[in-house]
Structure 1
């Protein structure tokens, strides 16, 4: 059973939209999906109108609770709470803390596939835990020059963790918020592909579309909304790469 970590050390790049939409596709195709919100801002928790918060904190503290239901049938969740920030402050230096999430996920792996982790946009204990637990690493990156700095930071973090013995998977870089009308978006995408080559997802880009924000407002994954077909097609291609058996279930 697979754990998919959605991560970037920069905010505003589409992490939560990516995590929620992948979860929505899993649910649509009948896979038992669990979404875990590790961001103290709780964006995914609010997006899906989770019935309970604090499950992610309990998991990291070693007292896991039963995943709650959400507004989307088929998606279960361990929601975020402000207590995650306390974990970041209090337990960051604790021995073995970087593997706490991987240990807590072990019994959940037998029940859910995929398990999707939405992460905070900063390097710290929560992100390190999510990277250490990952079977697949998805890195949404806005097609904007400044976003490449966040990508560089995450790639350095992955390399440092690997040198320390963590089995962090090769990142899949997902271009997001692509405005095809603007030359700088095309230039940034070309630079991304030049520097990171095969790591950049070749199944499409996620376009810039104000209606994506409306989906978040309405608590609906993109795959459940007809107007978002273009963005959904990219996410479906990504899902099928991560979960090859999904093609048969679709």
Structure 2
């Protein structure tokens, strides 16, 4: 089993799109694949589940979800409403089974553990009770079921991101050729390497994924060249901008299922082949 985290402390760099589309290609290639969504915005969950994972003032988040897992880790027993009570009864009997929180997607061999908008409310309690290794232990229990796991993270270095890095083998860092992104990159890498030294010696930075790369524009080329000259692990496969990504989000269909021959889909396939060489 191989577990990848897609992480950048800066928002808007394409974390969810990259996590979902690589997970979808993984599944299409025949790997039993799980997508774990740790971002309270739940973009990855909504990308593959559509309305089922969409929440608003009148519609609660899809359950069970990752917050329910961490509630069980904390031993929280309070539930809200009749649905919550029924869910509590179910989960109490399956507390040790991480599979209880996982949902099937419409796509073969691709499952998802959805996020919750109120996940952040548990941060202080989880930190206070030193629960930083619980996600790692739960993921390890899935080794007989999944061959690949992709984790989408919030745009912050917090408890949930740290939990993901402790659970993972590899990290992919999305990068959008922005000057501010470049300035923050060294701090991000330092956080990853500190996590490796303190908690997870097998963790590797698999590479920097350049997203929204405009090959004909001078500034993006110069920024990428600077990163390479600094010795940073920039992957050769770069993702071009395309309105097709928004179409993919709108239809809740990863690119490999929506437009297999499109240039952006092929760029993702090339990226997947680079990190998963045959």
TM-score computed with the length of structure 2 as normaliser: 0.80
Q: Deviations over 1:190-213 (max 9, x none)?
A: 12212234x1112x2001112211
Give a deviation string over 1:37-88, Cα, whole Å, max 9, x none.
0001101011111644442223334443241122333311110012321222
- Change beyond 3 A, Cα 1:170–1:154: same
RMSD: 2.0
The reply on whether 1:15 has 2:48 as its aligned counterpart is: no
1:170 deviates by 2.5
- Give the C-alpha shift of residue 224 in structure 1: 2.0
- How far apart are the structure 2 equivalents of 1:235 and 1:179? 15
2:24 is the counterpart of 1:47: no
* CA pair 171-113 structure 1, distance change in 2 beyond 3 A: same
Residue from 134, 148, 173 that aligns with 1:114 = 148
Alignment of 1:1-250 (within 5 A): 1-49=1-49, 51=52, 52-60=62-70, 61-62=72-73, 63=95, 64=98, 65-95=100-130, 97-167=131-201, 168-197=203-232, 199-202=233-236, 204-226=237-259, 229-244=262-277, 247=278
The verdict on how the C-alpha distance between 1:224 and 1:190 changes in structure 2, with shifts beyond 3 A counting, is same
Question: Tell me, which stretches of 5 or more residues in structure 1 are unaligned?
Answer: none
Whether the aligned pair in 2 keeps the contact of 1:136 and 1:242 (CA below 8 Å) is no
Aligned partners of 1:165 and 1:3: how far apart in 2?
16
* Aligned-pair CA distance for 1:227: 7.3
Q: How many residues align?
A: 242
CA contact (8 A) 1:54 1:81 kept: no
Q: Distance in 1 between matches of 2:126 and 2:158?
A: 10
For residues 190 and 64 of structure 2, the distance between their equivalents in structure 1, rounded to whole angstroms, comes to 30
> Secondary structure of 1:48's partner?
helix
Report the Cα offset of residue 6 of structure 1. Answer: 0.7
Q: Find the structure with the greater CA-based Rg.
A: 2
Contact (CA 8 Å) 1:3, 1:135: kept in 2 or not? yes
Q: Secondary structure at the match of 2:36?
A: strand
Moved more, 11-20 or 61-70: 61-70
Task: Give the Å deviation of 1:146.
Answer: 1.4
Cα distance in 1 for residues equivalent to 2:108 and 2:119: 26
Provide the secondary structure at the position in 2 that maps to 1:108. Answer: coil
Q: Which runs of 5+ in 2 are unaligned?
A: 53-61, 74-94
CA deviation after TM superposition for structure 1 residue 28, in Å: 1.2
Q: CA deviation at 1:7?
A: 0.7
Structure 1 pair 87/7, CA: closer, same or farther in 2 (3 Å)? same
SS in 1 for 2:178: coil
